[in-house]
Amino acid sequence: MPLATKYLGLSLKNPLVASASPANAQIDHLRRLEDAGAAAVVLPSLFQEQLEAEDAIDALILNKTAYISPEAMSYFPEVRDGPYGVGPDVYLDLIRRAKEALSIPVIASLNGSSESGWVTYAQSMQQAGASAVELNIYFVPIDMALTSQDVEDRYASIVRATRRAVSIPLSVKLSPYVSALPNLAQRLHAEGADGLVLFNRLLQPDFDLMTLQMVEGVHLSTPDEISLPLSWIALLAGRTGASLAASTGVETDDDVVKYLLAGADVVMTTSALLRHGPRHLRKLLGGLKVWMELRNFTSVSEMRGLMSWARSRHKELYGRPSYIKMLETGVV
């Protein structure tokens, strides 16, 4: 059964994409993902602050040791272990090696902290051979003086500057916490974003009641979190020229089907693959095929967006009347 789809203008053999994960920094793991059926892979994010902090530490070491002795002139501190090493070179080498090892698109992920950082590193990623760049914009508006317009202008400025600097496809990984997501989606596409990834999960700390310390940690997503991105993809599908990537809560083939029915071009998963391993992709693809066969769908394009707002005969179900009905029936 043909499962081909397009994302960011890239032709994919199916709609399943292995999204950014620390494990994706390993070529052997990427090969296993491709063998299991991944149509594309997203490399782990390159964080500008991490690179600059490492560079600053090594510059300090060099400055203190460079003139201790004549032999020290050729001394350099040992590169610390880590996913990227010092500077972007190791990350860019990961892109090159992944492109050589895989036959599927390799999408780089960038998490910048300044406009120059977004531009410089995106250019380097393009030169290294990335099929596309995912702009992982993680921004928490802590400043009380910031307005919603300021936040959206920040997103638009990042996309505009990066688009001017590179020619490969760009996607933007968005937070759901903006005041008018449809308008922002339209604006980002106009600025040069080829696709939107819905959504980025913000840090959700907890408090230790014994030590009175903030507890940080990464919690893998669960199917219970699918509702928010599912709703917004259904509302945006068919109304924006940008590709839509579903992210968060993908555990079973039912979740994949739901996202496609909502209108997603691709369905991304990380948490399920970390829990179950790359082979889980085969289960997701197999379940999707069975569901389509039972309902006589011959391609993904036939089913995509069937449940979206744009194609719904009961658009009120996505708005205020549905909410009122739930209150009346005691569901909420």
Residue 206 is predicted with a pLDDT of 86
| Whole-number Cα distances in Å, 254 to 99, 260, 273, 282, 329 | 31, 10, 16, 14, 27
Q: Which of 62, 51, 37, 56 is nearest to 89 (CA)?
A: 51
pLDDT-based confidence at residue 77 (cuts at 50, 70, 90): very low
pLDDT > 90? residue 66:
no
Rounded to whole angstroms, the Cα distance separating 37 from 87 reads: 32
pLDDT > 90? residue 76:
no
Residue 312 is predicted with a pLDDT of 87
Backbone angles phi, psi at 76, to 5 degrees: -130, 140
**Torsion sign, CA atoms 165, 171, 175, 178:** positive
**Higher-confidence residue: 176 or 326?**
176
Question: What's the pLDDT tens digit per position in 227-275?
Answer: 999 999 999 999 999 999 999 999 999 999 999 999 999 999 999 999 9
Q: Which of 79, 75, 25, 73 is nearest to 47 (CA)?
A: 25
pLDDT > 60? residue 78:
no
Residue 30 is predicted with a pLDDT of 98
pLDDT > 60? residue 115:
yes
pLDDT > 70? residue 330:
no
Rounded to whole angstroms, the Cα distance separating 278 from 248 reads: 17
Confirm if 322 and 316 have CB atoms less than 8 A apart: yes
Q: Which two tokens stand for residue 246?
A: 């579903």
Q: Which of 91, 111, 110, 114 is nearest to 161 (CA)?
A: 114
Rounded to whole angstroms, the Cα distance separating 234 from 110 reads: 27
Residue 48 is predicted with a pLDDT of 77
pLDDT > 50? residue 56:
no
pLDDT-based confidence at residue 88 (cuts at 50, 70, 90): confident
What's the mean per-residue pLDDT of the chain?
A: 87
Q: Which two tokens stand for residue 54?
A: 């490492």
**Higher-confidence residue: 290 or 203?**
290
Section 54-61 average pLDDT: 41
Residue 307's Cα: distance from chain center in Å? 23
pLDDT > 60? residue 70:
no
Residue 3 is predicted with a pLDDT of 96
The pTM assigned to this predicted structure is 0.87
Share of the chain above pLDDT 70, in %: 83
Write the single-letter amino acid at 312. Answer: S
Ranking 32-46, 276-290, 305-319 by mean pLDDT, the lowest is: 305-319
Residue 202 is predicted with a pLDDT of 75
Residue 328 is predicted with a pLDDT of 65
pLDDT > 90? residue 292:
yes
Rounded to whole angstroms, the Cα distance separating 140 from 204 reads: 12
Burial of 331 (0-12, 13-18, 19+ CB in 10 A): exposed
Question: What's the pLDDT tens digit per position in 124-138?
Answer: 999 999 999 999 998
Longest dimension (CA), the chain: 83
Section 41-66 average pLDDT: 61
Section 158-182 average pLDDT: 96
